[in-house]
């Protein structure tokens, strides 16, 4: 007998069924580098790895090389198990890394054997489920290690209370919406319902913990749960997913090889869970082998769907693009979709910031009204695109703010427009899950706030080619406006002639204009330059005397977070020295405002204020000023690193 047959002999299978099972098996060998199965090829054989190591990969359209999605040297790793379900084609390509030994079984022969020996069929499918789940968990481990916590958003994991927290859930409706149960008839569904129990999980409560013994299969009936896997003790390597669709599976870990929970499950709002004890379910399924086979095939279906979703997220990480991942997952099911299905349009709609919103509207409609397959693909796509959705909401928020400012009523004074702008930005930033430290360092008196100015990511460029500076608006709104109900006034560069968007926006806000190397060049005399500087000092003094703080960046231009801060110029400090009443200078270090929101969290650190006279004796001494500027820049470099490190201090990870 083969090694696979010997394994089932240890399970005390009937000799007759075991001999029939052994008869349909064949031992085969592949040399290193040979292809065992090819992606999308019709699945005729199921294979099990006996010796050696294999590599699993997927082919992506428009990519020259296959993406490696897994390695396995685990004995009895199943290869080609996607052949158990439609469209009966291999989901990945499998290649021998070393010389390998396999057992092959023709799917047609398996079906005939299961029909004659259903008890063997149940044991076999249970075995394949336990082995195939290893591939899923290995992929999720890869994701946890590839995406550091600093590049993950935990905003969607914030627990919240719902006005419907105490409502009684409709179990029948929840199970009807479950994709898992859609293949079972009414009598079969009643069988499962008779075995299950409903449990309420309160907001913030852990339903189960990673590595605990798993003893149930469970489904979400109402509410919202987070499943988080930690790959290290410090909780810095995490993979997370949200379950918020009624009837969707929470865990099948009780049917995996380890029978332990892979994740920690936490309720993000009051949640109702329906579960069946796994031992009880197995015992009852023994009385109905045909239903047992149907059940385990459905577990295989769920594992396959979950694995495809995890691999799609892997594509997103490897190719830095959720759109590629969604495109791939739709292409994988193209042969099963109607050619007129609106889901075919999704990748195209996602390619442009102006049409991304249309893609989300279509996906939400398909999630509710689509076919069974369209619903699953829409849900998978929305899960992959969760950060893109957040980023798209942010982009739309920027566009709305710009429009509200340039179209503000003419009767509004500039200070009223600045307050309107700060209030709008405050509301927008509150949805991003930013990090802020040092609020206690804000002085009660108006001051000069200096910050390292960061570039804007091209993604946030508005249709008129204008970019709203995020770091300065963050300081104005989240820090100053929230604390003092006064956003302060910025020192902004005079735009070039062709920068209409820039001019319209900042003129309406009434900020203090200054000429920089990036401005339209002036042809003026030395006296005219001196007069212009004196006017600037007078204007700044008036604002400070009236209780309005001044924001400016000493660098005079913007940089990336990794390059920041640039070389400091003396202008901000000469301003402080020219004022009759010496103001406090408040350093604020900002980080990550130059990056896409779906890859980071914005951060800022407010440091202790100082007066220039405490740091420098003679501002007119060029050598002394240069030393001061160099020292301050060095300090700012550490401040920026401190701001960057805040992204690693997620309060959520401490809850695990």
Query: Count of alpha carbons within 13 Å of 461, Cβ hemisphere only?
Result: 8
Identify the pLDDT of residue 515: 64
Q: Find the angle CA(607)-CA(535)-CA(493) to the nearest 5 degrees.
A: 60
Q: For all residues of the chain together, what is the average pLDDT?
A: 87
Confidence at 124, pLDDT banded by 50, 70, 90: very high
- The arithmetic mean of pLDDT across residues 198-220, rounded, is 95
Identify the pLDDT of residue 634: 95
- The arithmetic mean of pLDDT across residues 264-292, rounded, is 94
Confidence at 585, pLDDT banded by 50, 70, 90: very high
93-96 vs 35-37, strand pairing mode = antiparallel
- Distance, in Å, from the CA atom of 627 to the CA atom of 636, rounded to the nearest integer, reads 14
Identify the pLDDT of residue 273: 96
pLDDT at 290 > cutoff 80? yes
DSSP 62-109: T-SSPEEEEEE--TT-EESGGGGSTT-B-SSEEEESS-EEEEEEEHHH
pLDDT at 649 > cutoff 80? no
Confidence at 365, pLDDT banded by 50, 70, 90: very high
Identify the pLDDT of residue 160: 53
Higher pLDDT residue, 159 or 356? Answer: 356
Distance of CA 276 to the CA centre of its chain: 31
Nearest to 30 by CA among 5, 8, 52: 52
pLDDT in tens, 434-444: 899 999 999 99
- The arithmetic mean of pLDDT across residues 429-456, rounded, is 92
Confidence at 479, pLDDT banded by 50, 70, 90: very high
CATH of domain 3-116: 2.60.120.10
pLDDT in tens, 69-95: 888 999 999 999 888 888 888 989 999
pLDDT at 583 > cutoff 50? yes
436 contacts 604 by C-beta, under 8 angstroms: yes
Identify the pLDDT of residue 144: 82
Instruction: Out of 2.20.28.10, 3.40.50.150, 2.60.120.10, 1.10.20.140, select the CATH number for domain 119-170+185-320.
Output: 2.60.120.10
Do the two domains 119-170+185-320 and 399-649 of this chain adopt the same fold?
no
pLDDT at 498 > cutoff 60? no
Identify the pLDDT of residue 55: 93
Ordered by start, the domain boundaries in the chain are: 3-116, 119-170+185-320, 399-649
CATH of domain 399-649: 3.40.1130.10
pLDDT in tens, 530-577: 887 888 889 889 999 999 999 999 988 889 999 999 999 998 899 999
pLDDT at 517 > cutoff 60? no
- The arithmetic mean of pLDDT across residues 229-246, rounded, is 84
pLDDT at 650 > cutoff 70? no
The CB density around residue 522, as the number of other CB atoms within 10 Å, is: 10
Helix (H) or strand (E) holding 306: helix 289-318
Confidence at 329, pLDDT banded by 50, 70, 90: confident
225-230 vs 238-243, strand pairing mode = antiparallel
Let me know how long the chain is. Answer: 656
- Distance, in Å, from the CA atom of 39 to the CA atom of 511, rounded to the nearest integer, reads 59
Confidence at 128, pLDDT banded by 50, 70, 90: very high
Confidence at 521, pLDDT banded by 50, 70, 90: low
Identify the pLDDT of residue 462: 85
Q: 378 to each of 120, 337, 359, 365, how far by Cα in Å? A: 36, 12, 10, 9
């Amino acid at each position: 007998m083969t090694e696979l047959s010997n394994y089932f002999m240890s399970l005390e299978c009937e000799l007759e069924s075991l001999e029939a099972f052994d008869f349909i098996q064949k031992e085969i060998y592949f040399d290193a580098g040979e292809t065992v199965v090819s992606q999308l090829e019709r699945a005729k054989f199921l294979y099990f790895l006996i010796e050696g190591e294999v590599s699993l990969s997927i082919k992506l359209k428009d990519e020259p090389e296959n993406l490696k999605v897994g390695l396995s040297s685990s004995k009895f790793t199943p290869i080609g198990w996607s052949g158990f379900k439609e469209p009966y084609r291999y989901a990945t390509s499998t290649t021998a890394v070393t010389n390998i030994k396999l057992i092959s079984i023709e799917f047609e022969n398996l079906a005939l054997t299961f029909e004659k020996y259903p008890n063997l069929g149940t044991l076999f499918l249970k075995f394949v489920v336990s082995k195939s789940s290893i591939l899923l968990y290995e992929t999720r481990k890869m994701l946890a290690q590839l995406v550091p916590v600093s590049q993950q958003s935990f905003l969607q994991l914030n627990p919240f209370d719902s006005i419907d927290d105490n409502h009684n859930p409709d179990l029948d409706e929840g199970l009807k919406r479950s994709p898992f149960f859609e293949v079972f008839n009414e009598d079969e569904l009643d069988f499962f319902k008779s075995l299950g129990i409903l449990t309420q999980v309160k907001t913030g409560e852990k339903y189960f913990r990673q590595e605990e013994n798993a003893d149930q299969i469970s489904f979400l009936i109402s509410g919202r749960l987070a499943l988080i896997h930690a790959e290290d003790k410090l909780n810095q390597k995490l993979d997370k997913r949200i379950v918020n669709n009624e009837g969707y599976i929470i865990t099948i870990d009780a049917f995996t090889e380890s029978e332990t929970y892979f994740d920690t499950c936490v309720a993000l709002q009051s949640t109702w869970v329906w579960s069946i004890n796994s031992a009880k379910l197995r015992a009852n399924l023994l009385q109905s082998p045909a239903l047992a086979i149907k059940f385990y095939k459905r577990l295989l279906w769920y594992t396959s769907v979950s694995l495809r979703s995890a691999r799609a997220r892997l594509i997103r990480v490897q190719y830095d693009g959720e759109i590629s991942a969604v495109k791939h997952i739709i292409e994988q099911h193209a042969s099963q979709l109607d050619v007129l299905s609106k889901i075919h349009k999704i990748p195209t709609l996602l390619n442009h910031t102006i049409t991304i919103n249309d893609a989300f509207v279509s996906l939400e409609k398909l999630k509710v009204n689509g076919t069974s397959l369209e619903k699953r693909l829409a849900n998978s796509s929305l899960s992959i695109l969760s950060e893109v959705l957040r980023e798209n909401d942010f982009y739309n928020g920027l566009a709305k703010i710009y429009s509200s400012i340039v179209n503000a009523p003419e009767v509004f004074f500039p200070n009223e427009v600045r307050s309107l702008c700060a209030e709008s930005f405050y509301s927008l930033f509150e949805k991003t899950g930013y990090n802020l430290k040092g609020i206690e360092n804000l002085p009660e008196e108006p001051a000069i706030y200096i910050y390292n100015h960061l570039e804007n990511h091209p993604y946030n460029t508005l249709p008129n080619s204008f970019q709203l500076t995020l770091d300065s608006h963050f300081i104005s709104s989240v820090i100053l406006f929230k604390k003092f109900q006064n956003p302060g006034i910025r020192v902004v560069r005079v735009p070039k002639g062709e920068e209409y968007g820039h001019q319209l926006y900042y003129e309406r806000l009434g900020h203090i204009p200054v000429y920089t190397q990036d401005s339209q060049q002036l042809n003026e005399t030395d006296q005219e330059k001196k007069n212009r500087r004196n006017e600037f000092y007078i204007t700044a003094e008036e604002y400070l005397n009236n209780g309005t703080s001044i924001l400016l960046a000493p660098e005079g231009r913007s940089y990336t977070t990794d390059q920041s801060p640039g070389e400091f110029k003396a202008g901000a400090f000469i301003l402080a020295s020219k004022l009759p009443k010496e103001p406090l200078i408040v350093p604020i270090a900002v980080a990550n405002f130059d990056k896409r929101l779906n890859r980071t969290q914005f951060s800022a650190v407010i440091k202790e204020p100082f007066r220039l006279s405490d740091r420098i004796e003679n501002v007119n001494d060029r050598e002394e000023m240069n030393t001061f500027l160099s020292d301050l820049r060095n300090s700012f470099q550490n401040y920026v690193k401190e701001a960057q490190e805040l992204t690693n201090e997620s309060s959520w990870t401490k809850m695990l």
